[in-house]
A and B are shown apart, each in its own frame.
Chain A
Amino acid sequence: MTETPLLTVSNLKQYYGTGKKRVRAVEDVSFTICPEETFALVGESGSGKTTVGRTIIRILPPKGGKILFGGKDISGKLSGEERKELSRKLQMIFQDPMSSLNPSEKAGDIIARGLDIHRLYSSRTERREKVLSIMKEVGLPEEAFDRYPSQFSGGQRQRIAIARALIMNPELLIADEPVSALDVSVRAQIINLLKELQRKRHIAMLFIAHDLALVRQISDRVGVMHEGKLIETGTAEKIFGHPSQPYTKKLLDSVPVLYPEDTGSSGTGEV
């Protein structure tokens, strides 16, 4: 690929705890993501995928290695201004929607949070309009604006989290299991939506998921993680068609399929 990457992660290391309790969560992970590209991280549960995401958005400072974002090294100490800048361009949808949403805030305010921080509106009306428009895009009804997180189903909460990230128009979206709590039809809607927004707004994406069929649908390249390491990286065609690592093969073989001998060709569009 000749394009300059938007994100370059090299030899990233991340540990939790110290001394005897130290867990090496991420070891020497390297990959790049180009503008508008979707790179998927798949693999073992507990292999460090979420940790990679959390380290890139700098919830955790890296214990080693380098992260270049838009040509800038963001792996060192960041000033408040730099952090703020980063928080606009880099958004993450977290794995556990319930725990990442403030229970005492209304859905509309949760979604507007980034707009508030960066003062991205000139009036209350504009703020509300921006929120309602993104809510509509992710399939939340208007009346959801004034409800609290506990008053939604799991899938609806996930949509709040997606709306909160998308409203910022990020350059890179880290999506950690963004649709796993949704029914397959809504999943398809959101994946179509993400693809469309990606084209329209040129968003690059780090997509973390266990649903491999979905990963096949959305990603350009795929990295497979196992025990903190990236054991295989390649185009989606390569990983799904000709995986080289035994663990990758095992992963693909374990996917439960709806119609076991299904070989494809199910058409496009809506039913």
Chain B
Amino acid sequence: MEDNNILEVHNLKISLPVREKRVMFIRGVDLSLPKGKILALVGESGSGKTLTARSLMSLLPKAARIESGEILLKSKTGDEPGTDLAKLSHARIVNTVNARRIGMVFQDPLTTLNPTMTVGKQLAEGYKVHEHRFAGEAKKRALELLASVGLPEPERCFKQYPHELSGGMRQRVIIAIALSLNPDILICDEPTTSLDVTIQARILELLKKLQAERQLSVLYITHDLGVVAEIADIIYVMYAGRIVEEGSRSDILYHPAHPYTWGLLSSVPDMSFKEERLISIPGTPPDLSSGLRGDPFAPRNAWALPEDFEEEPPMFRLSSTHAVRSRLYDGAHTPPPLPENLARRIGNRSSAAEKEERHD
């Protein structure tokens, strides 16, 4: 395990049954989360981001099977070899290995919260179980946390049941619960999608503060590339169960290499004017259950090479931080220039933004 990584995923493959057939939805994912960094995992809807995240806590659907791979969590002291989470049950992970090392915020707020328990009870419960605190003190901490995630009336919220809260309030409660045990790693799956942007900004601030103060490492899954630009140190792009590009924030935002990444960045709408038609990537995602041949993105890729239809490309390294799964970068081909609209958008801004980046 590399020294500064707190978590490493190697060649993870996960299958699920679809109509009596086992389908590989995660097809070999490699991912490294360095300590104290925020890693954003972005990509197509249905590409396997949630499955990947859930596997880290052994919280996969019952029918799911890890077919291969390791999920290494570095030991607290760092000198022992990491623990392979892929081999442990959820109960083992929570109770023994890392009672409080990983916190998780799930995509579906209503399904995570217990509908029969008040918010306060759910929060305080965690403290009591893990920290043996008295009820009074647990309550005080719980109220502080509810305030820190931007809930306007913590006292009221404390006494309410999940269904009595708005979508965004529920989401903040879940974030509070995840942070309540002071984890080393926080896994967030779409944590701010139902929040208004002012509260979202607050949550992002809070995460950055925890990152700076106590080296919190974050795996952040989102569809909001503006958010990614705001908080990510590292970005991984996923398509059809595999990572297709990885790099630093500036690698991916200012020097994107994979045609899928180009399409994604181009699809972000502009707030300053109204477009007749939004840009999107043509075609539909592959149906993994009907078998794959070659690069699953090839049919939608204007830059696909003949051999892409035969065999999926490996990752090619562009720099020590940047790698891409595309034969356009195998050295034998001349990579095409960025699509015009994207080049224009990145355009002159890249020089200024990059200078800023090198600064910190």
Q: How many Å from the CB of B147 to the closest CB on chain A?
A: 15
Contacts of A261 in B (CB 8 A): 349, 352
Interface presence of B278 (CB below 8 A): yes
Contacts of B18 in A (CB 8 A): 143, 147, 151
Contact status B277-A192, CB under 8 Å? yes
Expressed in whole angstroms, the Cα–Cα distance for A251 and B201 within the complex equals 10
Contact status B197-A255, CB under 8 Å? yes
Contacts of B164 in A (CB 8 A): 16-17, 23
Expressed in whole angstroms, the Cα–Cα distance for A152 and B284 within the complex equals 15
Task: Determine which of A45, A195, A257, A268 lies in contact with B194 in the assembled complex, contact meaning CB atoms within 8 Å.
Answer: A45
Contact status B345-A254, CB under 8 Å? no
With A44-B198, A210-B197, A216-B269 known as contacts, the answer to whether A98 contacts B349 (CB < 8 A) is no
B130-173 interface code vs A (CB 8 A; 1 in, 0 out)? 00000000000000000000001000000000001111110000
Contact status A269-B277, CB under 8 Å? yes
Contacts of B278 in A (CB 8 A): 187-188, 191-192, 217
B183-209 interface code vs A (CB 8 A; 1 in, 0 out)? 000000010011111111100100000
Interface presence of B355 (CB below 8 A): no
Contacts of A154 in B (CB 8 A): 45, 50, 107-108, 190
Expressed in whole angstroms, the Cα–Cα distance for A262 and B274 within the complex equals 14
Interface presence of B210 (CB below 8 A): no
Report the interface size class on chain B. 35 or more
The stretch of B84-92, B97-105, B336-344 in contact with A is B336-344
Contacts of A192 in B (CB 8 A): 277-278, 280
Contact status B280-A186, CB under 8 Å? yes
Interface presence of B230 (CB below 8 A): yes
Contact status B271-A266, CB under 8 Å? no
Task: Determine which of A96, A98, A216 lies in contact with B274 in the assembled complex, contact meaning CB atoms within 8 Å.
Answer: A216
With A154-B190, A210-B197, A271-B262 known as contacts, the answer to whether A257 contacts B345 (CB < 8 A) is no
Contact status A188-B272, CB under 8 Å? no
Contact status B194-A95, CB under 8 Å? yes
Contacts of B61 in A (CB 8 A): 150
Contact status A181-B45, CB under 8 Å? yes
Contact status A187-B271, CB under 8 Å? no
Contact status B195-A257, CB under 8 Å? no
With A153-B46, A213-B268, A268-B275 known as contacts, the answer to whether A189 contacts B349 (CB < 8 A) is no
Number of A-B contacts (CB under 8 A): 223
Interface presence of A81 (CB below 8 A): no
Expressed in whole angstroms, the Cα–Cα distance for A236 and B195 within the complex equals 21
Give residues of chain B (303-360) contacting chain A, Cβ–Cβ below 8 Å.
339-342, 344-346, 349, 352-353
Task: Determine which of A44, A96, A255, A270 lies in contact with B108 in the assembled complex, contact meaning CB atoms within 8 Å.
Answer: A96
With A99-B111, A155-B46 known as contacts, the answer to whether A251 contacts B230 (CB < 8 A) is no
Expressed in whole angstroms, the Cα–Cα distance for A260 and B356 within the complex equals 12
Contact status A143-B271, CB under 8 Å? no
How many residues of chain A get a CB closer than 8 Å to chain B's CBs?
A: 69
Interface presence of B120 (CB below 8 A): no
Contact status B276-A212, CB under 8 Å? no
Contact status A264-B273, CB under 8 Å? yes
Contact status B353-A259, CB under 8 Å? yes
Expressed in whole angstroms, the Cα–Cα distance for A240 and B273 within the complex equals 9
CB closest chain-A residue, reference B167: A95
Interface presence of A71 (CB below 8 A): no
Contact status B224-A256, CB under 8 Å? yes
Residue of B44, B268, B339, B352 with most chain A CB atoms under a 10 A cut-off = B268
Task: Determine which of A44, A146, A186 lies in contact with B45 in the assembled complex, contact meaning CB atoms within 8 Å.
Answer: A186
Expressed in whole angstroms, the Cα–Cα distance for A236 and B269 within the complex equals 15
Q: 4 closest pairs, A vs B, by CB? A: A155-B45, A45-B168, A256-B226, A188-B278
The 10 listed contacts between A and B (C-beta, < 8 Å) are A17-B164, A96-B108, A147-B18, A191-B278, A210-B195, A213-B270, A258-B253, A267-B279, A268-B279, A270-B280
Known: A181-B223, A186-B45, A267-B341. 12 other contacts (CB 8 A): A45-B167, A45-B169, A99-B110, A154-B107, A187-B278, A188-B278, A210-B168, A212-B271, A256-B230, A258-B225, A258-B268, A262-B345
What residues make up the interface of B, taking CB atoms closer than 8 Å to A? 16, 18-19, 42-46, 50, 61, 107-111, 152, 164-169, 190, 193-201, 204, 223-230, 253, 262-282, 284, 287, 289-290, 302, 339-342, 344-346, 349, 352-353
